[in-house]
Amino acid sequence: MRMKNRRVAAAGAVLAISSCLAWIVVRAQGFQGSGGVEAQYVKKEFQIPMRDGARLFTAVYMPRDTTREYPVMLHRTPYSVAPYGEDAYPSSLGPSEELMREGFIFAYQDVRGRMMSEGEFVNMTPHRPDKKGPKEIDEASDAYDTIDWLVRNIPGNNGKVGMWGISYPGFYSAAGMIDAHPALKAVSPQAPIADWFVGDDFHHNGAFFLAHAFGFLPSFGKPRPKPTKEFEPSFRLPTGDGYAFYLGMGPLREANEKYLKHGIPFWDEVMEHDTYDDFWQSRNLRPHLKDIKPAVMTVGGWFDAEDLFGTLGVYQAVERSSPDAYNILVMGPWYHGAWARSAGNRLGDVHFGSNTSEFYRRNIEFPFFMHFLKGAPEPGLPEAYVFDTGRNEWRKEAQWPPQATSAPRKLMLCPGGRLDWDACADRLGGKSSRKADGAFDEYVSDPDKPVPYSAGINMGMAREYMLADQRFAARRPDVLSYTTGPLKEDVTAPGPVGVSLNVSVTGTDADFVVKLIDVYPDDFYSDDYADNERMRGYQQLIRGEPFRGKFRNSFSKPEPFVPGQVAKIQFEMPDVAHTFRKGHRIMVQVQSSWFPLIDRNPQKFVDINKAKAGDFQKATHRIHHTPDRPSYIELQVARPGDR
């Protein structure tokens, strides 16, 4: 952690992209005019040789003022470094206007096998820890070779390099700090992909994120037989109603038969790997983040629908393996990439009380790169700069999760839809009732009528779902809701959300979706809202995650349920930093579908990617809540004096 960092101690520092495709569209739209870039920078294009002979296309923008030296800011991307041509300029450079105006050498590179770069593209290139020759390459070696060429060949550089990137470019940034070139001094992986089976993008706890994968891969996944300046157009659904489209498509196997026609190789690979096998494990970046030398600032959003898992995972991996590294975390109230391309004052119906993205770019990101690349004074950034999404305020933490919390508190799922602290109260006000009645709640899960993930009509994964009103779901008979009474004081929960369910099912497989919700008072009022009426009784999603039941004991070796037999499901949802305010209530919802966000589980133990229509069946699911078979979520709750 940063508090152990020798450099920080010596200085005496005091703690004072909705979808990836949307990011491509935003970037392309930004390249319509020269703005002030051409007046300040001169552009050159290079094919930079890698150790195996492949050449990677790189556009370099150098300040026209040659009276001083500049650090290099490197951005490696699979999404195109357009506009191409040395006379074509984008409207902006770098991660922010502040950095562009300050003056850096900006280098943008098409990664291996994408757009104008040579070589073969590999999704989430597996890292090779023991390279035995120039033919054994990965993203760490490509970053090293690129940096080495840049500092040797670009005039006017000061020998220092920084890297940044959001989403897939965040992965390349994180990979680039492994066995880093000595010139690489500062890296900011932002919403980095870390593990595509356990928690990022296409799978969460083994459940397939259908709407996101199908919205992304049909265009991004098309083969590129030769270098090209043109990006593939996005796949157009025949309707704007994603729920209707995916339900009509039928089982996952029909995606190829009806639409893709085996023309997307990576989709076919995904369909061949239904478990956490070597294919997915080799693409887990976290074990390779060791002995990190550059300063690291990992950035993400609490409401990032794509790579929240990877953000926290990259930070935690560096913390564990490189305790002396300068390694800090920044988490704001943002959707995917919002810190770079929005004011950050709201998402959907929910307001955050200030322009949080502007604050980040000016007071956090800019000082970080200025210090490590230009020698500006130590900015005094904390180990974790996190935004409390209930109080709408920034918090500086000496570590993440904060150490100064009480013991984890359990919120028990109790009879009658109650959510009680520590143990279920019986009807007479005592604790730990052992009555047979109320030992479980049950619902019928029907794959033909799955629970929608959103009340709205949309094509794919709407980024607002991460904090959307859940009243529509609470009204369904196949969704269980458990609620506390109005809180008598604020409850601040900083850190992971543990889930422990005792379940039984009539089928042999099942998904369980667990949602942590902040229920606003019926008389809610805030000056931040022009229309408070809509927010009265609002059920704001704070964190929600699915878990594919067959992976309850191992992601690599799935097991069927025994019908009627109680089984335990335990997992951890990504961290939160949220205060449930006095007068609000805490709610937990449990359901078994979340469509079309995740694919439908047939509720029969099969390879779901190859399931047939006849495999899908109704099933009755029970959530048990007796003292010997409790079901609960677990929160890290801050003591009043620590808030």
pLDDT, one tens digit per residue, over 75-115 is 999 999 999 999 999 999 999 999 999 999 999 999 999 99
Cα–Cα nearest to 478, from 517, 499, 450, 454: 450
Cα–Cα nearest to 419, from 574, 567, 640, 635: 635
Region 536-551 average pLDDT: 98
**Cα distances (angstroms) measured from residue 48 to each of 80, 110, 112, 147, 188:** 16, 11, 11, 10, 23
Residue 497: pLDDT above 90? yes
When comparing pLDDT for 403 and 476, which is higher? 476
Q: What gap in Å lies between CA 313 and CA 220, rounded to an integer? A: 25
Q: Provide the pLDDT for residue 29.
A: 33
- Looking at residue 193, its amino acid is I
Q: Quick count: other Cβ atoms within 10 Å of Cβ 67?
A: 6
Q: Provide the pLDDT for residue 531.
A: 85
Phi, psi of 596 (to 5 degrees): -90, 25
Region 23-42 average pLDDT: 57
Residue 303: pLDDT above 80? yes
Bridge partners, 107 (sequence order): 60, 74
Domains 2-194+285-397 and 409-642 are alike in CATH topology: no
Q: What gap in Å lies between CA 468 and CA 625, rounded to an integer? A: 28
Residue 432: pLDDT above 70? no
Look at the domain 409-642 and name its fold. Jelly Rolls (2.60.120)
Region of 545 on the Ramachandran plot (φ > 0 left; ψ -120 to 50 alpha; else beta)? beta
Phi, psi of 507 (to 5 degrees): -95, -160
DSSP string, 444-501: EE-TTSPPBS-SS--SS--GGGGG-B-HHHHTSTTEEEEE----SS-EEEEEEEEEEE
Region 218-233 average pLDDT: 90
Residue 46: pLDDT above 50? yes
The secondary structure element, H or E, covering residue 578 is strand 567-580
DSSP string, 242-304: HHHHHHHH-STHHHIIIIITT--HHHHHHHH--SS-HHHHTT--GGG--S--SEEEEEEETT-
Residue at token pair 């959001």? 166
CATH 3.40.50.1820 fits 2-194+285-397, yes or no: yes
Q: Provide the pLDDT for residue 642.
A: 55
Q: Provide the pLDDT for residue 238.
A: 84
Bridge partners, 469 (sequence order): 540
**pLDDT per residue over 582-629, tens digit each?**
999 999 999 999 999 999 999 999 999 999 999 999 999 999 999 999
The pair of three-digit structure tokens given for residue 163, joined into one six-digit string = 């890297």
Residue 637: pLDDT above 80? yes
Region 314-332 average pLDDT: 97
DSSP state of 365: I
Residue 264's pLDDT band (cuts 50, 70, 90): very high
Q: What gap in Å lies between CA 95 and CA 141, rounded to an integer? A: 23
DSSP state of 338: H
Q: Provide the pLDDT for residue 183.
A: 98
Residue 175: pLDDT above 50? yes
Would the pTM of this model clear 0.85, i.e. be above it?
yes
User: In terms of DSSP bridges, do strands 511-519 and 479-483 run parallel, antiparallel, or are they unpaired?
Assistant: unpaired
Check: CB of residue 455 under 8 Å from CB of residue 467: no
- Looking at residue 389, its amino acid is T
Cα–Cα nearest to 589, from 557, 545, 629, 535: 545
Check: CB of residue 166 under 8 Å from CB of residue 191: yes
Residue 8: pLDDT above 80? no
Contacts of 103 (CB under 8 A, 6+ apart): 40, 63, 65, 70
User: Within the chain, what is the greatest distance between any pair of CA atoms?
Assistant: 82
Q: Provide the pLDDT for residue 236.
A: 80
Q: Provide the pLDDT for residue 404.
A: 61
Residue 342: pLDDT above 90? yes
Region of 242 on the Ramachandran plot (φ > 0 left; ψ -120 to 50 alpha; else beta)? alpha
Q: Provide the pLDDT for residue 26.
A: 37
Q: Provide the pLDDT for residue 437.
A: 53
Q: Provide the pLDDT for residue 510.
A: 98
Region 216-232 average pLDDT: 91
**pLDDT per residue over 17-29, tens digit each?**
334 444 333 333 3
Q: Provide the pLDDT for residue 619.
A: 98
Residue 228: pLDDT above 70? yes
Residue 7's pLDDT band (cuts 50, 70, 90): very low
Residue at token pair 């098409």? 110
Lowest-pLDDT choice from 1-10, 156-165, 283-292, 334-343: 1-10
Q: What gap in Å lies between CA 422 and CA 623, rounded to an integer? A: 17
Contacts of 189 (CB under 8 A, 6+ apart): 164, 165, 170, 171, 173, 174, 177, 296, 298, 299, 311, 314
**Cα distances (angstroms) measured from residue 448 to each of 317, 356, 545:** 40, 42, 21
Check: CB of residue 600 under 8 Å from CB of residue 250: no
User: In terms of DSSP bridges, do strands 184-190 and 295-301 run parallel, antiparallel, or are they unpaired?
Assistant: parallel
Residue 229: pLDDT above 70? yes
Cα–Cα nearest to 364, from 352, 381, 377: 381
User: In terms of DSSP bridges, do strands 157-166 and 41-49 run parallel, antiparallel, or are they unpaired?
Assistant: unpaired
Q: Provide the pLDDT for residue 499.
A: 98
Region 284-311 average pLDDT: 98
Domain ranges of the chain: 2-194+285-397, 409-642
Q: Provide the pLDDT for residue 324.
A: 93
Computed over every residue of the chain, the mean pLDDT equals 92
